[in-house]
Amino acid sequence: MTQSTVPAPITDLTGAGVSIWLDDLSRERLRSGNLAALVAERGVVGVTTNPTIFAKALSSGDAYDAQLSELAGSDVDAAVETITTDDVRAAADLLRPVYDATDGVDGRVSIEVDPRLAYDADKTVVVAERLWRTVDRPNVFIKIPATVPGLDAISRTLAQGISVNVTLIFSIERYRAVMEAFAIGLEQARADGIDLGPIGSVASFFVSRVDSSVDAALEKIGTPEALDLRGQAAVANARLAFEAFEQFVGTDQWRSLAASGAHPQRPLWASTGVKNPEYSDTLYVSELVTDGVVNTMPEPTLQAFADHGVVTGDTVRGTAGAARRTIETIESLGVSLTEVTDHLETDGVRKFEDSWTELLDTASAGLKAQGA
């Protein structure tokens, strides 16, 4: 990447310390050179995936036909694992120079554990280990959802020296538990003599879905005060999450781990595509700018920010007080953010389970068609 090839808004964003990751991956992106171009021309330094992304990729075009033909007759679960890990391995190889240049901070690619295991810690750990071995690249993150059983799986996976992207975080309370699970995992790794330096982790804090749910509740209330608060809950919630992160990295527990060579578990803003067309299409980028975070964007959001995004400086640090007042005002109207975030976690797992089923069904149909 050079200054001349990266648009000014993107340069401003990265200059402010935000790492730009693409929230998408497909065989077509890889073979067409699209991902490589986004790295070179749009400042992308990482990639995240999820079951919905892979389900869409497999059902679009013919990029997977040759491999489906090779895998015809295979067990569908095994075939899906082969296809997805091949894509992630290729993306990891493409981003390896970024990984090396940033000492392992960026250049990462995520792959998610089967979401049907979200409430089974033991099986999650087994699959996380297998995915880590199968992809066999140091710059891979294994994605594990932040359910209550997932917290144990996160600690146990990190304790083995496996890098983890913790996903589906919606509430501040759960985020604090995620950071504690991260610390427990690193402490166990250290006790077992594992080098903490190569272990990476991010905590994926979901943004836009909070506004979608809270806005619906505010519209149901319907008062002018309630309607004026639309579009504010998600950013406020994320800013409070960053306050929790700052508090965690100020603890003796973290200082001890950092002294042992550990890298911080960076906050990652996920679900940053704007769902309400009345809002700015760069809302969840421009309002969450601060040094040391990741923003993983779908390509339309990335391109929109490259075209007309504006960085006005740090829009997160020092905002916790105002963010807290925003949430308190919303809750004073009868909207429980705890109820909202609890539902979003359950619904998020269910949606990924549905996408996984769609992915298996699409792969099964493809295997049959190619084997006919």
Mean of all residue pLDDT scores within the chain: 96
For range 51-58, the mean pLDDT: 94
Residues marked as catalytic? 143
The boundaries of the domain holding residue 91 are 8-209+231-318+338-371
DSSP, residue by residue, 314-358: -SSTT-HHHHHHHHHHHHHTT--HHHHHHHHHHHHHHHHHHHHHH
Examine residue 279 and state whether it is found in any structural domain, yes or no: yes
The verdict on residue 363 lying in a domain is yes
Alpha carbons 319 and 238: distance in angstroms, whole number: 10
| Number of independent structural domains in the chain | 1
Structure tokens at 75: 């067990």
Give residue-wise pLDDT tens across range 344-353.
999 999 999 9
Q: DSSP string spanning 10-22?
A: HHHHHHTTEEEEE
Q: Which of 204-218, 320-334, 356-370 has the lowest mean pLDDT?
A: 356-370
Report whether pLDDT(149) > 90. yes
Q: What is the pLDDT of residue 81?
A: 97
Q: Does residue 261 form part of some domain? A: yes
370, pLDDT greater than 90: no
- 146 assigned to some structural domain: yes
Residue 214 is assigned to a structural domain of this protein: no
pLDDT reported for residue 333: 98
Quick: pLDDT tens for 195-248.
Answer: 999 999 999 999 999 999 999 999 999 999 999 999 999 999 999 999 999 999
- CATH number, domain of 184, equals 3.20.20.70
Judge whether 279 and 306 are in contact, CB under 8 Å.
Answer: no
- Read off the amino acid at residue 92: A
Whether residue 221 lies inside any domain: the answer is: no
The pLDDT of residue 3:
45
User: Cβ distance 127 to 117 under 8 Å?
Assistant: yes
pLDDT of residue 4: 53
pLDDT of 372 > 70? The answer is no
Question: Which pair of structure tokens corresponds to residue 29?
Answer: 């992106």
Decide if pLDDT at 104 tops 90: yes
Does residue 5 surpass a pLDDT of 90? no
Q: Can you list the alpha helix ranges (DSSP code H) found in the chain?
A: 8-15, 27-32, 34-42, 51-58, 65-71, 76-101, 121-135, 148-158, 172-191, 208-221, 224-228, 233-248, 252-259, 283-286, 299-308, 320-332, 337-371
pLDDT reading at 2 higher than 80: no
The DSSP bridge partners found for residue 202 are 165, 266
